[in-house]
Structure 1
Amino acid sequence: MCGRFIDPNLRGTELELSQIKIDPLPRRFNIKPTQDVLVVPSDPAKAAMARWWLVPSWHKGDLRGWKATTFNARIEDAATKPTFRAVWKHGRCLIPAGGYYEWTGDKGAKQPHAILSAANEETLWFAGLASRWQDLLTCTILTRAATDAVSAIHHRMPVVLDADERDAWLSGADTPDLGAKARIRSHPVPRFDLHDDGPDLIEACDS
């Protein structure tokens, strides 16, 4: 599962030149579903902002009428779900992130953990699907069973793609073990509220 994540640091990258300078945004450390996030199709020059909560093109009501929880999609069955099967074929994208959060513990005393890259590249590349509903671009993050790196924190995780897997995903691959090689690490961070933001949210603390 992925319910909160962090903007990537794209300074000096190809994506900074193609997107960030056009529509500059401060880096966010507490992105929530329904907020706009950067999605990258097979052509990075066409990177765009999309609402993080997918609405399929065939939805007939208004935006608030879409009640399904679709900010995440299970990679194991997205290809056959009515909500996702069209964009599984035609709407694949990458969603770059600086990391994401998961929580452990009992309700009312949950401990947040920041999950970040353990590789040389700071950015995590999530497998995503993008859907255009009316004039609004929307998206979802694919999830998979957690690897050993984070299974003690949560049983699900985003599909984090390495360089080879990114090309394969965008080209239509449906390999069942996509994301199995993700190099990630985690540490507990101070508790934070819905509207808190800033780099201090990912500073390590004693759990």
Structure 2
Amino acid sequence: MCGRFIDPDIRGTEIDFDQLKLDPWSRRYNIKPTNDVLTIDAEGNGAMARWWLIPTWHKGDLRDWKATTFNARIEEAASKPTFRGAWRYGRCLIPAGGYYEWTGPKGAKQPHFICSAGNEETLWFAGLISVWQDLRTCTIMTRASIPAVSDIHTRMPVILNSEERETWIMGGSDAGFGATAALRHYPVAPLRSAEDGPELIEAL
């Protein structure tokens, strides 16, 4: 799964990046579900979206949506009513600088920071977008963990390589996406919900 991640290192300054122009903003190191995150659609347009997908057909208020939908299993999303519409029409990429995962017993959980072990620092998560009552929402796809992180958790985000990114965003449905991700991990100090800053990803 993926329940916390950090912004990619493309935010501290104004740059052109794959036809996307980003205005200056502070990089975040403790992004949580329901926070706004950067998404990039099939046309290369960047927009913020609430990280907790709400399907277009939801009739209640925002607070009435109780399902846990900040992650979606790539093996199941196409057939799940919650994700089916976004799977067909809402593909996106969600760039990240890394993510956190925890090991150990309840009450003594050890956080680990997982990041790129390759030449490209940014991790590109496969995502889905759903626009509900003019609110842009999204989810991060997950898959079975690859060997590099399987000792930390059985699930991981779907992290796309350069070839997979285009295929995914144009509608590809290969459950094997993300198998070639180059990752490394290390333990970090326990982090509280309100904490932020680069010190959160410093190795113990």
Q: Assess same fold via TM > 0.5.
A: yes
Q: How far does the alpha carbon of each residue in 1:39-62 deviate from its partner, in whole angstroms, 9 at most, with x for none?
A: 001122x21000000000110001
Q: What is the identity, as a one-letter code, of the residue corresponding to 1:82?
A: P
Say whether 1:143 aligns with 2:145.
Answer: no
Taking the aligned partners of 2:118 and 2:169, their CA distance within structure 1 comes to 21
Q: CA deviation at 1:20?
A: 2.5
So what's the TM-score if we normalise by structure 2? 0.96
CA contact (8 A) 1:92 1:129 kept: yes
- Cα distance in 2 for partners of 1:130, 1:142 equals 11
Report the structure, 1 or 2, having the larger strand content: 2
- Which string of whole-angstrom CA distances, capped at 9 and with x for unpartnered residues, describes residues 107-156 of structure 1? 11110000001111110000000000011000000000000000000000
Using a 3 Å threshold, how does the CA distance of structure 1 residues 180 and 17 change in structure 2: closer, same or farther? closer
Give 1:192-203 correspondences, 5 Å limit. Answer: 192-203=191-202
Identity, % of aligned positions: 63
Residue identity opposite 2:7 in structure 1? D
Deviating 4+ runs (over 6 angstroms): none
Q: Where in structure 1 are there 5+ consecutive unaligned residues?
A: none
Aligned mates of 2:142, 2:15 — CA distance in 1: 26
Give runs of aligned pairs for residues 31-110 of structure 1, distance below 5 A: 31-44=31-44, 46-110=45-109
TM-score (norm 1): 0.94
Task: Determine the C-alpha separation between the residues in 2 that align with 1:151 and 1:183.
Answer: 13
Closer, same or farther: CA 194–65 of 1 in aligned 2, 3 Å: same
Task: Decide which moves more: 5-14 or 68-77.
Answer: 5-14
Aligned length: 202
Distance change >3 Å, CA 17–CA 80, structure 1 → 2: closer
**Alignment partner, residue 131 of structure 1:** 130
Residue 8 of structure 1 corresponds to 8
Secondary structure of 2:105's aligned partner? coil
Deviation at 1:18? 3.4
Aligned equivalent of 1:181: 180
| Alignment root-mean-square deviation, CA | 1.3
- Report the equivalent of 2:114: 115
Which consecutive unaligned segments of at least 5 residues does structure 2 have? none
Query: Relative to 1, partners in 2 of residues 1:38 and 1:107: Cα closer, same or farther, differing over 3 Å?
Result: same
